[in-house]
A = this chain, B = another copy of it.
Amino acid sequence: MSDTTLKKISQVLGISISTVSRALKNHPDISDATKKKVTELAETLEYEPNATAVNLRTKKTKLFGLMVPSVTNMFYDSFIAAIEEESRKIGYSLLILQNNEDTAAESDNLKLCRQNRVSGLFACYSHETDNLAAFTKLKTAEIPLIFFDKVPDDAGYNKICLADKEAASLAADELLKRNKQNILAIFGSRNLSITKRRLESFTGSFSNNKKVSLIIENAHSTKHAEEITYQYFQKQNKPDAVFCMSDEILMGVMKSLMRLQISIPAQTGVISLSDGSIPSIYYPEISFVETSGYNLGKLAFKRMQECLTGADEPVEEFVPSRFVEGGSL
Protein backbone atom coordinates (compact mmCIF):
# COMPACT_ATOMS: atom_id res chain seq x y z
CA MET A 1 0.00 0.00 0.00
CA SER A 2 2.69 2.37 0.93
CA ASP A 3 4.29 2.63 -2.47
CA THR A 4 2.32 2.24 -5.64
CA THR A 5 4.28 1.76 -8.85
CA LEU A 6 3.39 1.55 -12.50
CA LYS A 7 4.08 -2.13 -12.30
CA LYS A 8 1.56 -2.68 -9.57
CA ILE A 9 -1.12 -0.79 -11.49
CA SER A 10 -0.34 -2.74 -14.63
CA GLN A 11 -0.64 -6.03 -12.80
CA VAL A 12 -3.96 -5.18 -11.21
CA LEU A 13 -5.33 -4.12 -14.55
CA GLY A 14 -3.67 -6.89 -16.49
CA ILE A 15 -2.07 -4.50 -18.96
CA SER A 16 1.50 -3.54 -19.65
CA ILE A 17 3.61 -1.06 -17.75
CA SER A 18 4.15 1.09 -20.78
CA THR A 19 0.46 1.43 -21.38
CA VAL A 20 -0.01 2.58 -17.83
CA SER A 21 2.80 5.04 -18.20
CA ARG A 22 1.31 6.46 -21.36
CA ALA A 23 -2.21 6.56 -20.01
CA LEU A 24 -1.06 8.56 -17.04
CA LYS A 25 0.63 11.02 -19.38
CA ASN A 26 -2.51 11.30 -21.45
CA HIS A 27 -0.73 9.99 -24.49
CA PRO A 28 -2.89 10.26 -27.69
CA ASP A 29 -2.28 6.62 -28.62
CA ILE A 30 -4.13 5.30 -25.61
CA SER A 31 -7.86 4.70 -25.72
CA ASP A 32 -10.11 6.71 -23.49
CA ALA A 33 -11.38 3.58 -21.84
CA THR A 34 -7.91 2.51 -20.79
CA LYS A 35 -7.00 5.98 -19.68
CA LYS A 36 -10.04 6.07 -17.48
CA LYS A 37 -9.32 2.72 -15.89
CA VAL A 38 -5.73 3.63 -15.26
CA THR A 39 -6.23 7.09 -13.85
CA GLU A 40 -8.94 5.87 -11.56
CA LEU A 41 -6.88 3.07 -10.15
CA ALA A 42 -3.89 5.36 -9.83
CA GLU A 43 -6.09 7.68 -7.84
CA THR A 44 -7.36 5.07 -5.42
CA LEU A 45 -3.93 3.56 -5.01
CA GLU A 46 -2.54 7.03 -4.42
CA TYR A 47 0.08 6.61 -7.08
CA GLU A 48 2.84 9.19 -7.05
CA PRO A 49 5.46 9.04 -9.77
CA ASN A 50 8.84 8.25 -8.27
CA ALA A 51 10.86 11.35 -9.07
CA THR A 52 14.07 9.47 -8.43
CA ALA A 53 13.30 6.91 -11.13
CA VAL A 54 12.10 9.55 -13.57
CA ASN A 55 15.22 11.58 -12.99
CA LEU A 56 17.47 8.63 -13.52
CA ARG A 57 15.73 7.62 -16.68
CA THR A 58 15.43 11.07 -18.20
CA LYS A 59 18.77 12.27 -16.86
CA LYS A 60 17.17 15.43 -15.65
CA THR A 61 16.19 16.59 -12.22
CA LYS A 62 13.60 19.16 -11.40
CA LEU A 63 15.82 20.61 -8.79
CA PHE A 64 17.59 23.91 -8.36
CA GLY A 65 20.36 24.61 -5.91
CA LEU A 66 20.45 27.92 -4.10
CA MET A 67 23.50 28.82 -2.06
CA VAL A 68 23.65 31.86 0.17
CA PRO A 69 26.07 32.92 2.87
CA SER A 70 23.29 32.72 5.43
CA VAL A 71 19.55 32.33 5.40
CA THR A 72 19.17 34.53 8.44
CA ASN A 73 19.40 37.67 6.41
CA MET A 74 16.44 39.68 5.22
CA PHE A 75 17.93 40.37 1.87
CA TYR A 76 18.68 36.75 1.02
CA ASP A 77 15.38 35.66 2.47
CA SER A 78 13.43 37.69 0.06
CA PHE A 79 15.65 36.40 -2.72
CA ILE A 80 14.92 32.85 -1.63
CA ALA A 81 11.22 33.58 -1.40
CA ALA A 82 11.18 34.79 -4.99
CA ILE A 83 13.06 31.77 -6.28
CA GLU A 84 10.91 29.37 -4.30
CA GLU A 85 7.69 30.83 -5.68
CA GLU A 86 8.86 30.69 -9.25
CA SER A 87 10.35 27.24 -8.92
CA ARG A 88 7.18 25.78 -7.54
CA LYS A 89 5.24 27.32 -10.41
CA ILE A 90 7.19 25.24 -12.88
CA GLY A 91 7.25 22.14 -10.73
CA TYR A 92 10.82 22.46 -9.55
CA SER A 93 12.10 22.02 -6.03
CA LEU A 94 14.72 24.06 -4.29
CA LEU A 95 17.78 22.84 -2.47
CA ILE A 96 18.87 25.43 0.07
CA LEU A 97 22.51 25.63 1.04
CA GLN A 98 24.34 27.94 3.40
CA ASN A 99 28.07 28.42 3.43
CA ASN A 100 28.55 31.05 6.13
CA GLU A 101 31.30 32.42 3.94
CA ASP A 102 33.24 29.29 4.72
CA THR A 103 35.17 27.60 1.93
CA ALA A 104 34.82 24.11 3.34
CA ALA A 105 31.07 24.43 3.66
CA GLU A 106 30.94 25.87 0.18
CA SER A 107 32.78 22.88 -1.21
CA ASP A 108 30.45 20.50 0.59
CA ASN A 109 27.48 22.32 -0.81
CA LEU A 110 28.80 22.33 -4.33
CA LYS A 111 29.41 18.63 -4.03
CA LEU A 112 25.84 18.07 -2.92
CA CYS A 113 24.70 19.99 -5.97
CA ARG A 114 26.81 17.90 -8.27
CA GLN A 115 25.78 14.62 -6.71
CA ASN A 116 22.14 15.54 -6.78
CA ARG A 117 22.57 16.59 -10.39
CA VAL A 118 20.75 19.86 -9.86
CA SER A 119 19.41 21.42 -13.04
CA GLY A 120 20.82 24.78 -12.15
CA LEU A 121 22.45 26.69 -9.35
CA PHE A 122 21.95 30.16 -7.94
CA ALA A 123 24.91 31.22 -5.86
CA CYS A 124 26.59 34.09 -4.14
CA TYR A 125 30.30 34.23 -4.64
CA SER A 126 31.50 34.75 -1.10
CA HIS A 127 34.56 36.85 -1.19
CA GLU A 128 36.65 34.91 1.23
CA THR A 129 36.69 31.94 -1.06
CA ASP A 130 38.79 31.74 -4.11
CA ASN A 131 37.53 28.44 -5.35
CA LEU A 132 35.95 29.59 -8.54
CA ALA A 133 37.36 26.33 -9.81
CA ALA A 134 34.71 24.40 -7.91
CA PHE A 135 32.08 26.44 -9.65
CA THR A 136 33.70 25.90 -12.98
CA LYS A 137 33.19 22.18 -12.55
CA LEU A 138 29.50 22.86 -12.74
CA LYS A 139 29.93 24.83 -15.87
CA THR A 140 31.79 22.06 -17.61
CA ALA A 141 29.02 19.74 -16.47
CA GLU A 142 26.75 22.11 -18.32
CA ILE A 143 24.80 23.02 -15.25
CA PRO A 144 23.57 26.59 -15.58
CA LEU A 145 25.10 28.81 -12.95
CA ILE A 146 23.72 32.18 -11.96
CA PHE A 147 25.74 34.30 -9.61
CA PHE A 148 23.74 36.91 -7.78
CA ASP A 149 24.47 39.83 -5.51
CA LYS A 150 28.05 38.88 -4.78
CA VAL A 151 29.60 37.91 -8.07
CA PRO A 152 33.11 37.20 -9.32
CA ASP A 153 34.89 39.83 -11.40
CA ASP A 154 35.58 37.22 -14.01
CA ALA A 155 33.59 37.54 -17.18
CA GLY A 156 32.18 34.29 -18.48
CA TYR A 157 29.57 33.89 -15.76
CA ASN A 158 25.96 34.87 -15.49
CA LYS A 159 25.72 37.67 -13.00
CA ILE A 160 22.55 39.24 -11.69
CA CYS A 161 23.21 42.21 -9.49
CA LEU A 162 21.67 45.16 -7.85
CA ALA A 163 22.24 48.39 -9.67
CA ASP A 164 24.58 49.53 -6.94
CA LYS A 165 25.91 52.56 -8.69
CA GLU A 166 22.49 53.78 -9.67
CA ALA A 167 21.17 53.18 -6.16
CA ALA A 168 23.99 55.06 -4.50
CA SER A 169 23.70 57.98 -6.84
CA LEU A 170 19.93 58.14 -6.39
CA ALA A 171 20.53 58.46 -2.68
CA ALA A 172 23.17 61.11 -3.27
CA ASP A 173 20.73 63.03 -5.43
CA GLU A 174 18.17 63.14 -2.64
CA LEU A 175 20.77 64.39 -0.24
CA LEU A 176 21.87 67.10 -2.66
CA LYS A 177 18.31 68.08 -3.43
CA ARG A 178 17.72 68.69 0.27
CA ASN A 179 20.89 70.71 0.63
CA LYS A 180 22.55 68.53 3.21
CA GLN A 181 25.98 69.97 3.96
CA ASN A 182 27.59 67.71 6.46
CA ILE A 183 27.00 64.13 5.54
CA LEU A 184 28.14 61.06 7.41
CA ALA A 185 28.20 58.21 4.91
CA ILE A 186 28.71 54.73 6.30
CA PHE A 187 29.63 51.92 3.96
CA GLY A 188 30.38 48.25 4.48
CA SER A 189 33.73 46.52 4.49
CA ARG A 190 36.15 48.04 2.04
CA ASN A 191 37.15 44.75 0.46
CA LEU A 192 33.68 43.96 -0.83
CA SER A 193 33.14 44.85 -4.44
CA ILE A 194 29.62 45.90 -3.58
CA THR A 195 31.09 48.49 -1.23
CA LYS A 196 33.48 49.72 -3.85
CA ARG A 197 30.76 50.26 -6.41
CA ARG A 198 28.45 52.03 -4.02
CA LEU A 199 31.20 54.13 -2.55
CA GLU A 200 32.59 55.19 -5.87
CA SER A 201 29.25 56.16 -7.27
CA PHE A 202 28.18 57.96 -4.12
CA THR A 203 31.29 60.06 -3.74
CA GLY A 204 31.32 60.72 -7.46
CA SER A 205 27.98 62.46 -7.13
CA PHE A 206 29.56 65.00 -4.80
CA SER A 207 32.83 65.46 -6.62
CA ASN A 208 32.19 68.89 -8.12
CA ASN A 209 30.33 70.13 -5.13
CA LYS A 210 32.52 72.09 -2.78
CA LYS A 211 29.80 73.05 -0.34
CA VAL A 212 29.22 69.58 0.96
CA SER A 213 31.44 68.08 3.59
CA LEU A 214 31.44 64.33 3.21
CA ILE A 215 32.61 61.98 5.94
CA ILE A 216 33.18 58.46 4.70
CA GLU A 217 33.36 55.59 7.14
CA ASN A 218 33.42 51.83 6.78
CA ALA A 219 31.61 49.60 9.22
CA HIS A 220 32.13 45.87 9.31
CA SER A 221 29.02 45.17 11.37
CA THR A 222 25.86 46.63 12.79
CA LYS A 223 27.62 47.17 16.09
CA HIS A 224 30.45 49.00 14.40
CA ALA A 225 28.05 51.28 12.57
CA GLU A 226 26.45 52.01 15.91
CA GLU A 227 29.78 53.04 17.42
CA ILE A 228 30.77 55.21 14.51
CA THR A 229 27.46 57.03 14.66
CA TYR A 230 27.73 57.50 18.39
CA GLN A 231 31.09 59.18 18.02
CA TYR A 232 30.10 61.61 15.31
CA PHE A 233 26.92 62.67 17.04
CA GLN A 234 28.67 63.49 20.26
CA LYS A 235 30.78 66.09 18.53
CA GLN A 236 29.95 69.77 18.36
CA ASN A 237 29.52 69.84 14.65
CA LYS A 238 27.01 67.07 14.12
CA PRO A 239 26.22 65.65 10.70
CA ASP A 240 22.99 66.93 9.19
CA ALA A 241 22.44 63.64 7.36
CA VAL A 242 23.52 60.03 7.56
CA PHE A 243 23.75 57.76 4.56
CA CYS A 244 23.63 54.02 5.25
CA MET A 245 24.81 51.59 2.64
CA SER A 246 22.72 48.72 3.94
CA ASP A 247 20.06 47.60 6.38
CA GLU A 248 22.69 46.27 8.74
CA ILE A 249 24.29 49.68 8.91
CA LEU A 250 20.96 51.45 9.20
CA MET A 251 20.09 49.43 12.29
CA GLY A 252 23.33 50.39 13.97
CA VAL A 253 22.92 54.03 13.07
CA MET A 254 19.38 54.20 14.34
CA LYS A 255 20.29 52.62 17.63
CA SER A 256 22.80 55.35 18.36
CA LEU A 257 20.46 58.08 17.23
CA MET A 258 17.81 56.72 19.59
CA ARG A 259 20.33 56.59 22.36
CA LEU A 260 21.41 60.18 21.85
CA GLN A 261 17.82 61.23 21.31
CA ILE A 262 18.59 62.90 18.06
CA SER A 263 15.29 63.70 16.44
CA ILE A 264 14.74 62.77 12.84
CA PRO A 265 14.55 64.60 10.52
CA ALA A 266 14.75 67.78 12.61
CA GLN A 267 18.29 67.31 13.85
CA THR A 268 19.58 64.98 11.21
CA GLY A 269 18.33 63.29 8.09
CA VAL A 270 18.73 59.59 7.45
CA ILE A 271 18.72 57.73 4.17
CA SER A 272 19.57 54.13 3.45
CA LEU A 273 19.92 51.59 0.73
CA SER A 274 17.57 48.86 1.81
CA ASP A 275 15.55 45.83 0.98
CA GLY A 276 12.59 47.73 2.42
CA SER A 277 11.36 46.04 5.56
CA ILE A 278 13.61 47.63 8.15
CA PRO A 279 12.99 51.28 7.21
CA SER A 280 9.30 50.93 8.03
CA ILE A 281 9.79 49.81 11.61
CA TYR A 282 11.06 53.22 12.68
CA TYR A 283 9.21 56.42 13.27
CA PRO A 284 9.50 58.39 11.18
CA GLU A 285 9.91 55.75 8.53
CA ILE A 286 13.30 55.91 6.89
CA SER A 287 13.57 57.16 3.33
CA PHE A 288 15.46 54.62 1.30
CA VAL A 289 16.57 53.56 -2.12
CA GLU A 290 15.18 50.13 -2.72
CA THR A 291 17.64 47.33 -3.39
CA SER A 292 15.21 44.49 -3.50
CA GLY A 293 16.23 40.91 -2.93
CA TYR A 294 12.85 39.82 -4.16
CA ASN A 295 13.24 41.58 -7.48
CA LEU A 296 16.75 40.26 -7.74
CA GLY A 297 15.34 36.78 -7.30
CA LYS A 298 12.75 37.26 -10.00
CA LEU A 299 15.36 38.47 -12.44
CA ALA A 300 17.78 35.70 -11.58
CA PHE A 301 15.07 33.15 -12.11
CA LYS A 302 14.21 34.60 -15.48
CA ARG A 303 17.81 34.23 -16.46
CA MET A 304 17.84 30.65 -15.24
CA GLN A 305 14.92 29.82 -17.46
CA GLU A 306 16.69 31.31 -20.42
CA CYS A 307 19.71 29.15 -19.67
CA LEU A 308 17.51 26.09 -19.40
CA THR A 309 16.10 26.78 -22.83
CA GLY A 310 19.40 27.13 -24.55
CA ALA A 311 20.92 30.51 -23.80
CA ASP A 312 24.62 30.05 -23.25
CA GLU A 313 26.32 33.37 -23.62
CA PRO A 314 26.74 34.65 -20.07
CA VAL A 315 25.13 37.97 -19.30
CA GLU A 316 25.37 40.57 -16.59
CA GLU A 317 22.10 42.17 -15.58
CA PHE A 318 21.02 44.71 -13.02
CA VAL A 319 17.90 45.18 -10.96
CA PRO A 320 16.82 48.82 -11.10
CA SER A 321 16.39 50.85 -7.95
CA ARG A 322 13.87 53.44 -6.91
CA PHE A 323 13.65 56.01 -4.18
CA VAL A 324 11.01 55.43 -1.53
CA GLU A 325 10.07 58.46 0.51
CA GLY A 326 9.82 57.95 4.25
CA GLY A 327 9.86 60.88 6.61
CA SER A 328 13.48 60.87 7.58
CA LEU A 329 15.08 63.43 5.28
Residues of A within 8 A of B (CB): 1-3, 46, 48-53, 55-56, 61, 70-74, 77-78, 80-81, 84-85, 88, 91, 93-98, 105, 108-109, 111-112, 114-117, 137, 140-142, 222, 251, 254-256, 258-259, 277, 281-284
Provided the pairs A95-B93, A116-B93, A282-B258 are in contact, do residues A71 and B61 lie with their beta carbons within 8 angstroms? Answer: no
Q: Chain B's nearest CB lies how many Å from the CB of A1?
A: 7
Q: How far is the CA of A222 from the CA of B259 in the complex (A)?
A: 23
- The answer to whether B56 and A52 have CB atoms under 8 Å apart is yes
In the bound complex, how far is the Cα of B108 from the Cα of A282, in angstroms?
A: 37
Residues of B within 8 A of A281 (CB): 222, 251, 254-255
Would you call A48 and B258 a contact (CB within 8 A)?
A: no
Query: Are A51 and B117 touching (Cβ within 8 A)?
Result: yes
Q: Tell whether, in the assembled complex, residue B74 and residue A78 are in contact, meaning their CB atoms are under 8 Å apart.
A: no
Which residue among A49, A74, A88 has the maximum number of chain B CB atoms within 10 Å of its CB?
Answer: A88
A94 to B118, CA, bound (A): 13
Out of B56, B88, B117, which one reaches A109, CB within 8 Å? B88
Beta-carbon contact of A61 and B52 below 8 Å: yes
How distant is the Cα of A277 from the Cα of B284 in the complex, in angstroms?
21
- Is there an interface contact between B1 and A51, defined as CB atoms closer than 8 Å? no
Residues of B near A80 (CB, < 8 A) are 71, 96
Residue picked from A50, A96, A142, A255, most chain B C-beta under 10 Å:
A96
Q: Per a CB cutoff under 8 Å, which of B46, B71, B74 touches A137?
A: B46
Report B-chain residues with C-beta under 8 Å of the C-beta of A52.
52, 55-56, 61, 116-117
Q: Complex Cα distance A74/B251, Å?
A: 15
* Complex Cα gap A3–B59 (Å): 11
**Nearest CB on B from A315, distance (A):** 23
Assess the B72–A74 pair: CB atoms within 8 A. yes
- Please tell me which one of the listed residues B49, B81, B95, B140 contacts residue A115 in the complex, with CB atoms under 8 A apart: B49
Whole-angstrom CA separation of A282 from B257 in the bound complex: 10
Is A81 in contact with B98, judged by CB distance below 8 angstroms? Answer: yes
A91 vs B105: C-alpha distance in the bound complex, in angstroms? Answer: 11
Distance, CA A115 to CA B78, complexed state (A): 26
Specify which chain B residues have a CB less than 8 angstroms from the CB of A284 in the assembled complex.
259
- The answer for the CA separation of A254 and B95 in the assembled complex, in Å, is 36
A140 to B3, CA, bound (A): 10
Question: Which residues from chain B contact A2 at a C-beta distance below 8 Å?
Answer: 140-142
Name which residue of chain B comes closest to A116, CB basis.
Answer: B51
User: Out of B61, B81, B91, B222, which one reaches A72, CB within 8 Å?
Assistant: B81
Known: A50-B56, A52-B116, A91-B112. 5 other contacts (CB 8 A): A50-B117, A95-B95, A254-B281, A258-B282, A259-B284
Whether A112 contacts B93 by the Cβ 8 Å rule is: yes
Which residues in B have their C-beta under 8 angstroms from that of A283? 255-256, 258-259
A70 to B78, CA, bound (A): 10
